[in-house]
Structure 1
Amino acid sequence: MTAALTAFTVPTRTLRALATTEPCAEGTRLVRDVRRSKRLVLLRAVLDAAPGGRSGATADHWALLEEAERHDPGAVRDVLHYPATGVWAEETLRRLHAPYGPPADLAHLGALAAAAALRAGISFTHTLRPLHGRLVLPTLGVLRPGPPGPLALTERSWDPDDPATLPLHALPGGRTALDDLDPYRAPGPARPAPLRPARRLTPKGHKRWDTQWSGALTLLRRYDTARAEETLQLLRSVVPLGGASRSHGATLPAAAGSVLARTQAPPALAATLVHEVQHGKLTALSDVLTLHTADRTARHWAPWRSDPRPLEGLLHGTYAHLALAGYWQRAALYGARGAWAQHARIRAQVAAVLPALHADERLTPAGREFTDSMAAAERAMDELPPPGDQHAAARRAVDRERRAWCEKHPELAPFTQV
Structure 2
Amino acid sequence: MTGSPAGSLAAFTVAPPVLRALASTEPSAEGSRLVRDIRRSKRLVLLRAVLDAAPGGRSGEAADHWALLEEAERHDPDAVRDVLHYPATGVWAEEALRRLHAPHGPAADLGHLGALAVAAALRAGIGFKATLKPVGGRLALPTLGLLRPARPGPLALTERSWDPDDPAALPLHALPGGRTALDDLDPYRAPGHARPAPVRAARRLTPKGHKRWDTQWAGALTLLERYDTARAGETGLLLRSVVPLSGGSRSSGATLPAAAGSVLARPQAPPALAATLVHEVQHGKLTALADVLTLHTADAAPRHWAPWRADPRPLEGLLHGAYAHLALAGYWQRAALYGARGAWAQHARTRAQVAAVLPVLHSHPQLTPTGREFTAAMAAAERAMDELPPPGDQHAVARRAVDRARRAWYAEHPELAPHEQG
2:330 maps to 326
Q: Secondary structure at the match of 2:291?
A: helix
Match of 1:114 in 2: 118
Question: What does residue 104 of structure 1 align with?
Answer: 108
Choose the corresponding residue for 1:92, options 90, 96, 101. 96
Aligned to 2:308: 304
Task: Note the alpha carbon deviations across 1:244-297, whole angstroms, 9 max, x for none.
Answer: 101000000000000000000000000000000000000000000100010101
The equivalent position to 2:159 in structure 1, one of 155, 158, 161, is: 155
1:127 aligned counterpart, secondary structure: strand
Kindly report the root-mean-square deviation, in angstroms, between the aligned alpha carbons of the 2 structures.
0.9
In the TM superposition, residue 193 of structure 1 has moved relative to its aligned partner by 1.4
What SS is found at the alignment partner of 1:139? Answer: coil
The answer as to 2:250 corresponding to 1:246 is: yes
Distance 1:58 1:34 in 2: 25
Residue 71 of structure 2 corresponds to 67
Q: Partners of 1:126 and 1:286 in 2: how far apart?
A: 39
Residue 169 (structure 2) pairs with residue 131 (structure 1):
no
- Going from structure 1 to structure 2, the CA distance change for 1:86 and 1:328 (only over 3 Å counts) comes to same
- Give the secondary-structure state (helix, strand or coil) at the position aligned to 1:288: coil
Unaligned runs of at least 5 residues, structure 1: none
Kept after mapping to 2: 8 A contact 1:356/1:415: no
Tell me by how many angstroms 1:194 deviates.
Answer: 1.5
Aligned to 1:353: 357
Whether 2:392 is the aligned partner of 1:398: answer no
For residue 54 of structure 1, report the CA deviation from its aligned partner: 1.8
Query: Which residue, out of 224, 230, 233, partners 1:226?
Result: 230
- Secondary structure at the counterpart of residue 254 of structure 1: helix
C-alpha distance in 2 between matches for 1:416 and 1:346? 21
Residue 55 of structure 1 deviates from its aligned partner by: 2.1
How far apart are the structure 1 equivalents of 2:420 and 2:324? 19
1:272 pairs with 2:276: yes
Distance 1:414 1:114 in 2: 58
1:408 matched to which residue of 2? 412
Residue 261 of structure 1 is matched in structure 2 by 265
SS in 1 for 2:156: strand
Alpha-carbon distance in 2 for matches of 1:84, 1:417: 42
Counterpart in 2 of 1:170? Answer: 174
Any idea what SS the aligned residue of 2:58 has? Answer: coil
Looking at structure 2, the residues matched to 190 and 82 of structure 1 have their Cα atoms a distance apart, in angstroms, of 20
Which blocks of at least 5 consecutive residues in structure 2 are unaligned? 1-6
Structure 1 distance, partners of 2:129, 2:403, is 66
- Aligned-pair distance for 1:387? 0.6
Measured in 2, the distance between the counterparts of 1:317 and 1:78 equals 29
8 Å contact 1:332–1:340 — kept in the other structure? yes
1:6 counterpart SS class = helix
Shift, 1:190, TM fit = 1.9
The answer to whether the Cα contact below 8 Å between 1:64 and 1:113 also exists between their aligned partners in 2 is yes
The SS at the match of 1:54 is helix
Which residue number in structure 2 is paired with residue 58 of structure 1? 62
TM-score (norm. length: structure 1): 0.99
Query: In structure 1, how many angstroms separate the alpha carbons of the residues matched to 2:390 and 2:421?
Result: 27
Look up the equivalent residue of 1:181 and give its one-letter code: L
1:378 aligns with 2:377: no
Distance in structure 2 (CA, Å) of the matches to 1:7 and 1:63: 26
Distance, in Å, in 1 between the alignment partners of 2:135 and 2:290 is 37
Q: CA deviation at 1:385?
A: 0.5
Match of 2:81 in 1: 77
CA distance in 2, matches of 1:379, 1:386: 13
Q: Which one of 11, 15, 38 corresponds to residue 15 of structure 2?
A: 11
Aligned counterparts of 1:367 and 1:381: Cα–Cα separation in 2: 22
CA contact (8 A) 1:65 1:117 kept: yes
The yes-or-no answer on 1:282 pairing with 2:286 is yes
Alpha-carbon offset, residue 414 of structure 1: 2.5
Q: Which runs of 4+ in 1 moved over 4 A?
A: none
AA matched with 1:239: V
Structure 1 residue 311 displacement after superposition = 0.4
- Whole-angstrom distance in 1 between the partners of 2:255 and 2:50: 23
Letter in 1 for 2:279: H
Letter of the structure 2 residue corresponding to residue 161 of structure 1: D
Partners of 1:88 and 1:145 in 2: CA distance: 22
How many residue pairs end up in the alignment? 416
Shift in Å, 1:58: 1.1
The answer as to 2:51 corresponding to 1:47 is yes
